[in-house]
Structure 1
């Protein structure tokens, strides 16, 4: 029987160098009302002019001729700045006193001349699409002003930068800019009415939840919703618990809600199976407590974990109970939620990707392929007594039209095989066993039900083993599937026992 251990605090790993090398330093440069020199009348120069205008700069354009796009831009104007067109070439005297100097030069010689003039005047220079003559770069921008996100690949992969921008665009609601503006209007009130520390953090966490909800911002800063948030932040002293699914391993499997919850945690109670890469996404100040539970090993008692959640939440803390996979599938969430409800402590659940789903995706096999299976069952291989559960409908699991996935099946593989065959499951039924699903050290075995015990024993890992049984595993993996798929698997060990 596994022995019991006490929860233990785990401090986040600290590196001596806390910032990795940067190709360039990202800066946000205010240009409101400042002079910017722009040499050139091309379409490329027009795009830079429009960008500068949006920042409020006074853009002085030096060009004898303007493209049609540029002429249209000057005619339309900009609400935030003014354009000044000088119908002549630039000269060295015009650069002095400018905040920035930008040019679309027709040749390297012209680019060098502009670059040297800017350097002599002490003005940062950018020659469009000519990196040797650039002291700064224009990156891709996600505009939710006053929230502005800049993306740079240091000029080596602009298409990648654009793809990153599109990905971020899909994550940020368009209303975010209005919420950010509202934050600026109410900031003074927050500082005056809420105490530093927990009260202010509670307020901004709730405010952020509202900002990402897609709600339309109220016309003023005295809406009922906002007043409720102020009231909760100032008067609610009781803590809360959030059960969060960390997925099967890879941090990229986390939901956005799980990431936001980790960022708001005061204390994180996490299992042995939670990967370090997931913990790295948590708020740096959060205390991390290892409450590992793993079959056959020294583990924390469930009662101790429940007591700790109650104690910490009673101190007014936001406790995150971080579980591998999905909390509601073999994660003892029911016991924890019952205890919290008995103590009157608010609790919520953030679902995660369960290991069986990640396994199916990694293999490129549908668990409910309609030609082979009309139902799927997730079954624990351990009862409260640590044995194969007798309450399971074994005859139903022997149904050839059912795909069955056993969790935590390593020690019970032989008994599972024997019991299913006894109940009528065909000995040659295809089986897939996999350990460390979605991790770099993922390993798997394919074979038949009759060889299951030997197959599981052949897996060179001590990680938790999933055993999946059903005719769907007779399929060949689709030619479109890639071992290096979205689950980040770099290699797989596949063994067959005939």
Structure 2
């Protein structure tokens, strides 16, 4: 009896239309024929060899490109130094060609089809029964992306995005899964227990950059029943979201966001960063921001503990770097007290992003031998009382004040009271790395006035030091004035 077609409504619900059927084909030991010695043909030949295919090339010596010549010399590729003919298709599994003209492409295509061999003529879609996708290789895990030939560059961009999400060690974990499969199936009955074992195996393999150790296989088999039956163990990862630009995230941060069950994020984390998180993850805004209602730190700690003890993978997503002017120390201490596994993924701190934005080295060897990151406010919303202002006012260093917008006038006054000259270069940057980034540069004596221009509604960084001289208008430093006066006197 012929299969009954699905109603139109059911068809849409089950699977949408596909431009092409994605198929993974076993070519190990199979004969594949290629006509043409171009670089494009060489790339296809190398790809097919990596799948274990026995590749035979039909091309005259004079038509071999340098890449193909090298491939012939260093691999088992069989070279027939003459053009292709209709007899080459016997016993072949695939046929490929790189043809200059449509007439030659049509001839090769028709000959291959007549022999019943799937055929691809490179860069000529009209003569292709199948296409090669853009590949992410973690074999035995293989991801192939196709745009049906419409946008190859888009396929490459998608591949690059996927590459960032799949740790290189996934190759070894997938190979381990392959070797364990039969033994695990014998130990665990089909159903919930076996599924839970593999779910936990998959979660582990996607959340680490480390390949499995030699004893991992034995440990997994020995403890298979326990792994499948024990309650899920939660964890917390403190992740640095960077200053705002999603492209400044680290690969490890991306993977943590993709693996999260729960995300507790700061008010300053950008929507673009959150867009990269796992869709199914529950998200909670727990940010603390000056002048606004805030979530208490104790409440944040309690949430992390509660979710982790419920078996969830929690990401505490912090702007910048979690270990600089955050509450990471308090959070880690609480989690360790509760016996919860905690990890930290560093992020790009705002000062580094500011230096990059301004194209200014914070430690120019002629101007600054040290750089200091200083908080611009304390628990009491005033300047910290423990800051050594005399030290900060000394020469040959760069100081970056975080969260100092509302205290800018007091920062200026403290530095000047301790000997810093009013013409010392200063920069102010708000919303660094974001589309609304704003900058001001000028002398220290104008810092208070600058804040009236920049405003304090967005996160602000204040940079103080001679390294910002060029940014602040190219002012000549006193040391240079002395040198120029000496030079003038000798003329």
* TM-score interval for Structure 1 and Structure 2 normalised by the shorter chain: 0.7 to 0.9
Tell me, in whole angstroms, the C-alpha distance in 2 between the residues paired with 1:423 and 1:386.
22
Tell me, in whole angstroms, the C-alpha distance in 2 between the residues paired with 1:66 and 1:54.
26
Tell me, in whole angstroms, the C-alpha distance in 2 between the residues paired with 1:233 and 1:224.
13
Residues 427 and 448 of structure 1 are in contact (CA less than 8 Å); yes or no, is this contact kept in structure 2? yes
* CA deviation after TM superposition for structure 1 residue 403, in Å: 1.1
1:357 maps to which residue? 352
Pairwise mapping of residues 181-330 of structure 1 onto structure 2 (< 5 A)? 181-188=175-182, 193=188, 195=193, 200-209=198-207, 212-213=209-210, 218=214, 222-224=217-219, 235=230, 237-330=232-325
Indicate yes or no: 2:27 matched with 1:32. yes
* CA deviation after TM superposition for structure 1 residue 387, in Å: 1.2
Pairwise mapping of residues 451-462 of structure 1 onto structure 2 (< 5 A)? 451-459=446-454, 462=457
Residues 381 and 407 of structure 1 are in contact (CA less than 8 Å); yes or no, is this contact kept in structure 2? yes
Indicate yes or no: 2:358 matched with 1:335. no
Tell me, in whole angstroms, the C-alpha distance in 1 between the residues paired with 2:145 and 2:205.
26
* CA deviation after TM superposition for structure 1 residue 269, in Å: 0.5
Structure with the larger RCO, 1 or 2 (CA within 8 Å, 6+ apart):
1
Pairwise mapping of residues 372-383 of structure 1 onto structure 2 (< 5 A)? 372-383=367-378
Stretch deviating more after TM superposition (274-283 or 34-43) = 34-43
Residues 38 and 49 of structure 1 are in contact (CA less than 8 Å); yes or no, is this contact kept in structure 2? no
| Inter-CA distance 49–392: structure 2 relative to 1 (3 Å threshold) | closer
| Inter-CA distance 319–347: structure 2 relative to 1 (3 Å threshold) | same
User: What SS class does the counterpart of residue 410 from structure 1 fall into?
Assistant: coil
1:114 to 105, 108, 114: 108
Q: Which runs of 5+ in 1 are unaligned?
A: 1-18, 478-498
1:429 maps to which residue? 424
TM-score (norm 1): 0.75
* CA deviation after TM superposition for structure 1 residue 259, in Å: 1.9
Q: Which runs of 5+ in 2 are unaligned?
A: 1-14, 473-491
* CA deviation after TM superposition for structure 1 residue 374, in Å: 1.9
Tell me, in whole angstroms, the C-alpha distance in 1 between the residues paired with 2:216 and 2:318.
38
User: What SS class does the counterpart of residue 269 from structure 1 fall into?
Assistant: strand
Indicate yes or no: 2:441 matched with 1:446. yes
Residues 207 and 259 of structure 2 are in contact (CA less than 8 Å); yes or no, is this contact kept in structure 1? no
How many pairs are equivalent? 448
* CA deviation after TM superposition for structure 1 residue 464, in Å: 0.4
Tell me, in whole angstroms, the C-alpha distance in 1 between the residues paired with 2:357 and 2:225.
45
Higher helix share: 2
User: What SS class does the counterpart of residue 108 from structure 2 fall into?
Assistant: helix
Q: Over aligned residues, Cα RMSD in angstroms?
A: 4.4
Residues 270 and 288 of structure 1 are in contact (CA less than 8 Å); yes or no, is this contact kept in structure 2? yes
* CA deviation after TM superposition for structure 1 residue 415, in Å: 1.4
* CA deviation after TM superposition for structure 1 residue 55, in Å: 2.9
| Inter-CA distance 49–420: structure 2 relative to 1 (3 Å threshold) | closer
Indicate yes or no: 2:57 matched with 1:55. no
Structure number with bigger Rg: 2
| Inter-CA distance 233–326: structure 2 relative to 1 (3 Å threshold) | farther
Stretch deviating more after TM superposition (281-290 or 137-146) = 137-146
